[in-house]
Amino acid sequence: MNKTRVLDILFLFFLTPLLVSCQSLPPDLTAQDSHRVILVTVTDAEARPAIRRGFHPSDYDLSQTTHQLLEQISSEYQLTRINGWHIKPLNAYCAVFSVDSHSDLSQLLGRLNEDNRVDLAQPMNIFEVQAIHSSSGYNDPYFSIQYPLHTQDVLNLHQSSTGKGIRIAVIDTGMDRHHPDLSGQILLVKSFLSDDMALSGKFDNDIHGTAVAGIIASKSNNAIGIVGLAPSATLLALKACWQTRSQEIPATCNTFTLTKALSFAIEQSVDIINLSLTGPRDPLVAQLIQNAIDRGIIVVASKAGPDDYIESIDGVIAVTGDSEFTPHLSVNSPQQNYLSTTPGGGYDYFTGTSMATAQVTALVALLKSKLDAESPYGNVQLKVQQMIKNQLARIQ
């Protein structure tokens, strides 16, 4: 066989699978009509392929048994499978289906949840971040105005802990990785939006995540800008939300992107998960949050009202500005005028429970870092929850 023939065969061998894979790229679920999309999880604990080089479609690691089961469900319920992924912490596979416009969604979900082959069937829910630009007009990026009347209290806190050794998963929009106050503070970056996988400029231009990150872990002693409440903590920037309008702070995510980010954070064994967002009750989100808590991960989340999904999840630190809310553990934190980072190296004031949540997350990082140092083999989760309210009062 001559050299040219060998090259032809090698070309076909390697290129053909690549072309097939590219043709089956998953659709952008952020653009789907969420009212006609459902999630179905099934048990999938069988062994999967070990080789993962190159691009693979979303069901590449799906076991044959589970693949056949999903095909049966798709056929029997007249569904179209459009995406899916393996949720390792739950030993489950979550399939995303589109539903025919003539089907009754409520009845369909009821039938699926009665099907013994199905672990869970639910709608694709939408979650929203909780922040707006403050109208105070201040733009002086100084530590002395960042914590008005409590600058010394923050300095006192930093004498005992700055959050060193704590890894925080910020599940949010993207954030400005190159901001002078955030550069070097971000350990890992990952997007769960199919149109953002290249981490293009859209990731760095996102406002909400940049502000949340700045409150938590802006650099200290760099002679510019502000100081995060936990400046020695490191961040995992996990983009699950997208801005609804360019150059504006409102952003949303859905069950698909949020649960993928939660699953990834759990797999990374982070110390804290920050969820500066809120939304409806969501069974799959609740399962993953409970899984994280059971593993010793502290979850801090915004709470904008008594009907938020957080209410049903025991162990979550829910941050609210209204003391009338009574979840399992509620922290009342001020919502107004947080000075933080903005894309492009700037600073601005922000208002909302999203920012209050970031402050509580940073405070949890300080406490956990201190307690870990004192009791490295102890479970500090309960101790942090007991201490958080008293410590927060010192910087408000």
Give catalytic residues, as residue numbers.
172, 208, 354
Is there a contact between 298 and 381 (Cβ–Cβ < 8 Å)? yes
- The set of residues, in sequence order, having a beta carbon less than 8 Å from that of 253 and lying 6+ positions away, is 126, 127, 240, 241, 242, 277
> Which element (helix H / strand E) includes 191?
strand 186-191
CA distances from 249 to 126, 187, 199, 279, 357 (A): 16, 24, 19, 17, 16
- Max intra-chain CA distance, the chain: 82
Is there a contact between 294 and 286 (Cβ–Cβ < 8 Å)? no
Q: What share of the chain is helix, strand, coil (3-state, %, to 5)?
A: 40, 20, 40
DSSP summary character for residue 185: T
Q: Which residues on neighbouring strands pair with residue 301, listed in sequence order?
A: 275, 318
Is there a contact between 18 and 54 (Cβ–Cβ < 8 Å)? yes
Is there a contact between 298 and 321 (Cβ–Cβ < 8 Å)? no
Q: Is 393 exposed, middle or buried (0-12, 13-18, 19+ CB in 10 A)?
A: exposed
How many C-beta neighbours within 10 Å does residue 60 have? 15
